[in-house]
């Protein structure tokens, strides 16, 4: 049963140097047409693969708040008509600090959005310019103040580390600033230089200076230390929350559960099939105009792939992969099919058995990708 939906808004008022998500400059784009096509995709999807009721919805981008207040209202009201949103528990939208005006906050609140994810990345002014962000430290503080005044009680900040020229002291200060704002949730990810980004081009030209690996490790260790000291619970490798404010939507991904994906370039996972929509907006709009779903490609997930995904996604959670639940869901013993991998990782001190689950150790947190790789392409037959 699908209980989650991701909605993609591909428009941005500026393009950040690290971003490889499907996005375009807002100016001169067919925004109104896109919103109507997006709502039509939702209506068609509910006709073919209906949901009895969604529990979480996440609107990401791009920059959803690059839309005008009127456009946001059209989108959100249309979603209430197109999707079964009557039982939604967590309704998140991504916002940029310099594009969240009071009128937009009122629209979000009126349409039952109850969680804001604010893209901050860093509080260091020079680093903000280096990565192509246009907001400032004070605009983040203003955005949070306005959001609180509008009645939002669940706010998450996105942070990044391993940025060009970033030093451990820079990131430590950013963590302290975030904690001092007394928000409910922090997501912090290390920079990955992806193709088709400004940073990728600079790296190819030898013009990108990244911190050494040991500095990046120090930044992550400071993240663990400072958030724990502040009483935030680490419930996933990169995510920290006050108790009860863990992201329900992101847990859908980490629990390897199914979800709808709406919008240009969006990914979905429904009835055992993963799909990706057309990314270019003209192709997306054309598919809707022709009465089709805007699907670019599909992949039937095999039993082996589902099990591998359950391991490398589930191990991201601090609670790990529950052994009994795994067997109930997949009809296989986790301890049998991955006996060699688990034994090897235990000997290296990277995983442990605790509370009926296989979990990453503290050392395993630092080498997560290396651990996950152990569970990929090791099964031949089921």
pLDDT tens-digit map of 158-207 = 999 999 989 999 999 999 999 999 999 999 999 998 888 888 888 889 88
| Domain ranges across the chain | 4-254, 303-373
* 171 neighbors 223 (Cβ within 8 angstroms): yes
Q: What is the pLDDT of residue 22?
A: 67
| Domain 303-373 in CATH 1.10.10.920 | yes
pLDDT reported for residue 203: 84
Checking if the pLDDT of 382 tops 70, the result is: no
Give pLDDT, residue 380: 65
Residue environment code for 86-101, b if the CB has 16+ CB neighbours within 10 A, otherwise e: eebebbbbbbbbbbbe
For residue 252, cis peptide bond before it (omega within 30 degrees of 0): no
Length of the chain: 382
**DSSP 3-state assignment of 79?**
helix
| pLDDT given for residue 198 in this prediction | 82
First to last CA, the chain: 24
Q: What is the pLDDT of residue 377?
A: 76
Please tell me the pTM assigned to this model: 0.95
- Check if the beta carbon of residue 277 is closer than 8 Å to that of residue 261: yes
64-105: pLDDT as tens digits? 999 999 999 999 999 999 999 999 999 999 999 988 889 999
> What mean pLDDT is predicted for residues 315-327?
97
318 neighbors 359 (Cβ within 8 angstroms): yes
Which residue did the predictor score with more confidence, 309 or 21? 309
In degrees, rounded to 5, the angle at the alpha carbon of residue 350 between the alpha carbons of residues 348 and 353 is 110
Q: What gap in Å lies between CA 297 and CA 278, rounded to an integer?
A: 8
| 78-82, 126-130, 196-200, 209-213, range with the lowest pLDDT | 196-200
Q: Where are the beta strands (DSSP E) in 178-306?
A: 185-190, 233-236, 239-241, 260-262, 267-270, 273-277, 295-300
* Crossing angle for the helix pair 31-48 and 69-82, to the nearest 10 degrees: 10
Find, among 362, 316, 312, 365, the residue nearest to 334 by Cα. Answer: 312
Looking at every residue in the chain, the average pLDDT score rounds to 94
Q: Which comes out higher in pLDDT, residue 247 or 1?
A: 247
Q: Which residues does 69 contact at the CB level (< 8 Å), separation at least 6?
A: 101, 103, 104, 106, 107
pLDDT in tens, 327-337: 999 999 999 99
**pLDDT band, very low/low/confident/very high, at 146 (cuts 50, 70, 90):** very high
Percent of the chain surpassing pLDDT 70: 98
3-state secondary structure of 13: coil
Residue bearing the bigger pLDDT, 128 or 352: 352
- Predicted pLDDT at 291: 96
Could you tell me if 236 and 257 are in contact, meaning their C-beta atoms sit under 8 angstroms apart? no
pLDDT in tens, 25-68: 678 899 999 999 999 999 999 999 999 899 999 999 989 999 99
Residue 152 pLDDT more than 80?
yes
Q: What is the fold, at CATH topology level, of the domain defined by 4-254? A: pyruvate-formate lyase- activating enzyme (3.80.30)
pLDDT at 26 (0 to 100): 77
The DSSP call for residue 276 is: E
More confident residue, 130 or 264: 264
| Mean pLDDT of the region 368-373 | 92
Q: Which SS3 state, helix, strand or coil, does residue 227 take?
A: helix
Mean of the pLDDT values across residues 334-352? 95
């Amino acid at each position: 049963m699908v209980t989650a939906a991701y909605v993609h808004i591909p428009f941005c008022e500026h393009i950040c140097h690290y971003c490889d998500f499907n996005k375009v400059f807002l100016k001169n784009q067919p925004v109104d047409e896109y919103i109507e096509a997006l709502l039509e995709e939702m209506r068609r999807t509910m006709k073919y693969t209906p949901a009895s009721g969604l529990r979480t919805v996440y609107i990401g981008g791009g920059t959803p708040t690059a839309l005008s207040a009127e456009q946001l209202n059209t989108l959100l009201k249309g979603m209430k008509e197109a999707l079964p949103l009557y039982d939604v528990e967590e309704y998140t939208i991504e916002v940029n600090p310099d594009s969240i005006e009071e009128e937009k906050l009122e629209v979000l609140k009126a349409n039952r959005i109850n969680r804001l994810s604010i893209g901050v990345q860093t509080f260091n002014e020079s680093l903000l310019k280096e990565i192509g962000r246009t907001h400032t430290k004070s605009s983040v503080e203003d955005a949070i103040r306005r959001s609180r005044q509008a009645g939002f009680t669940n706010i998450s900040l996105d942070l990044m580390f391993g940025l060009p020229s970033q030093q451990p002291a820079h990131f430590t200060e950013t963590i302290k600033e975030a904690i001092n704002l007394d928000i409910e949730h922090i997501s912090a990810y290390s920079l990955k230089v992806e193709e088709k980004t400004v940073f990728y081009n600079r790296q190819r030209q030898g013009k990108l200076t990244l911190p050494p690996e040991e500095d990046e490790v120090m930044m992550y260790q400071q993240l663990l230390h400072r958030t724990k000291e502040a009483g935030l619970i680490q419930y996933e490798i990169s995510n920290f929350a006050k108790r009860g404010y863990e992201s329900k939507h992101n847990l859908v991904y980490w629990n390897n559960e199914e979800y709808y994906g709406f919008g240009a370039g969006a990914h979905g996972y429904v009835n055992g099939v993963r799909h990706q929509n057309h990314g270019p907006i003209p192709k997306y709009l054309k598919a809707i105009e022709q009465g089709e779903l805007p699907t670019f490609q599909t992949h039937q997930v095999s039993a082996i792939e589902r099990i591998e995904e359950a391991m490398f996604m589930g191990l991201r959670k601090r609670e790990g992969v529950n052994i009994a639940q795994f067997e109930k869901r997949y009809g296989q013993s986790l301890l049998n099919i991955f006996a060699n991998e688990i034994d090897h990782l235990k000997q290296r001190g990277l995983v442990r058995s605790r509370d009926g689950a296989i979990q990453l150790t503290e050392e395993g947190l630092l080498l997560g990708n290396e651990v996950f790789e152990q569970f990929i392409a090791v099964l031949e037959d089921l």
